[in-house]
């Protein structure tokens, strides 16, 4: 059901198709009840789209958090980006300071293969995000300038007590890792593959 709140397209398609069928029936028969029903469906469709915009799902919050972190790193505001670290994982702060501290970032672009999976029954609630990211950076010592690097990133999030999703750990790999990933379900069915 969460997919209804993450994309207005299903409501628009279902409402549009229903309005088209009702409109066609009204034009052929001239029966006013079809016209009234068509107006009701239009209003319900608009209501569904407004509701979709108002409800922020966990996936949407995590995606927004990722983009906020990327924007802060792109602005070289590493300390501000560290505010998105999960309180129960101090090692992520050390990892980020160590890895990001010697670079100046010019651009960070999260690619469209972003996949977010939420585990609400985990204690605390957990989510994972996987995506490719394009990073343009220079080293602070000037050795590298405007280098373009594409990486595959895996981030684990936990929901804090205040309801905010925070990054607990992250790993990055060569970009082709996105295509080398094996499904857990496949491994369960075919052990050793």
Sequence spans of domains, the chain: 2-54, 58-189
pLDDT in tens, 127-173: 999 999 999 999 888 788 888 999 999 999 999 989 899 999 999 98
How sure is the predictor about 185, in pLDDT bands with cuts at 50, 70 and 90? very low
pLDDT in tens, 10-58: 888 898 999 899 989 888 998 889 888 989 988 988 888 888 778 778 8
Location of structure tokens 């319900």: 44
Per the CB < 8 A criterion, the answer to whether 19 and 41 are in contact is yes
The mean pLDDT value of the chain amounts to 85
Q: How far is CA 151 from CA 32, 52, 90, 144, in A?
A: 59, 32, 24, 17
Q: Tokens representing 31?
A: 């029966």
pLDDT in tens, 99-129: 888 899 999 999 999 999 999 999 999 999 9
> Could you tell me which of 122, 116, 13, 137 has the C-alpha nearest to residue 70?
137
Per the CB < 8 A criterion, the answer to whether 173 and 149 are in contact is no
E strands in the chain: 103-110, 115-119, 126-139, 147-159, 165-173
**Which class for 132: exposed (0-12), middle (13-18), buried (19 or more C-beta within 10 A)?**
buried
pLDDT of residue 175: 80
pLDDT in tens, 64-90: 999 999 999 999 999 999 999 999 888
Residue length, the chain?
193
pLDDT beyond 70 at 182: no
How sure is the predictor about 179, in pLDDT bands with cuts at 50, 70 and 90? low
Give 135-161 as a DSSP string: EEEEETTSSS-SEEEEEEEEEEEEE-T
pLDDT of residue 5: 61
Q: What is the CATH number of domain 58-189?
A: 3.10.450.100
The answer, as to whether pTM is greater than 0.75, is no
pLDDT of residue 6: 67
pLDDT of residue 65: 94
CB atoms near residue 172 (< 10 Å) = 16
Mode of pairing for the β-strands spanning 103-110 and 126-139: antiparallel
């Amino acid at each position: 059901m969460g997919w209804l709140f993450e994309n207005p397209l299903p409501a628009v398609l279902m409402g549009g198709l229903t309005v088209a069928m009702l409109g066609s029936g009204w034009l052929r028969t001239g029966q006013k009840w079809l016209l009234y029903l068509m107006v009701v469906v239009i209003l319900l469709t608009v209501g569904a789209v407004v509701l979709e915009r108002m409800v922020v799902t966990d996936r949407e919050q995590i995606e927004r958090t990722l983009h906020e972190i990327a924007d802060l790193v792109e602005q070289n505001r590493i300390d501000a980006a560290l505010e998105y670290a999960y309180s129960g994982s101090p090692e992520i702060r050390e990892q980020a300071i160590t890895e990001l501290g010697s670079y100046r970032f010019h651009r960070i672009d999260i690619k469209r293969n972003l996949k977010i999976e939420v585990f609400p029954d985990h204690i605390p609630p957990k989510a994972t995000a996987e995506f490719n990211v394009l990073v343009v950076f220079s080293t602070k010592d000037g050795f590298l300038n405007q280098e373009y690097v594409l990486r595959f990133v895996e981030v684990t999030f936990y929901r804090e007590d205040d309801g905010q999703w925070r990054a607990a750990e992250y790993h990055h790999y060569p970009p082709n890792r996105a295509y080398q990933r094996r499904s857990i379900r496949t491994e369960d069915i075919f052990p050793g593959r």
